[in-house]
């Protein structure tokens, strides 16, 4: 993963980037994931989303 956009905030001491690149595909920040029962429920991710440590969800840039 590489970041491509500006830093738009932070979460748990890690930067939140406006956009990132994963496997040559662009993604934009969407939201912070809900942490439940000591895990992030991956079944709640849409097909066009990726979860990035420490719990940031990015969606594919259309």
Residue 32's pLDDT band, with cuts at 50, 70 and 90, is very high
Global pTM reads 0.85
- One DSSP character per residue, the chain reads -EE-S-EEEEETTEEEESEEEETTEEEEEEEEPPPBTTB--GGGS-TTEEEETTTEEEEE--
pLDDT digit string, tens, across residues 44-57: 899 999 999 999 99
Confidence (pLDDT) at 18:
96
């Amino acid at each position: 993963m590489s970041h491509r956009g500006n830093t738009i905030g932070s979460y748990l001491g890690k930067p939140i980037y406006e956009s990132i690149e994963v496997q040559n595909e662009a993604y934009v920040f969407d939201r912070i994931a809900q942490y439940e029962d000591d895990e992030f429920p991956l079944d709640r991710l849409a097909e066009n989303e990726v979860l990035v440590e420490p719990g940031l969800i990015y969606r594919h840039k259309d």
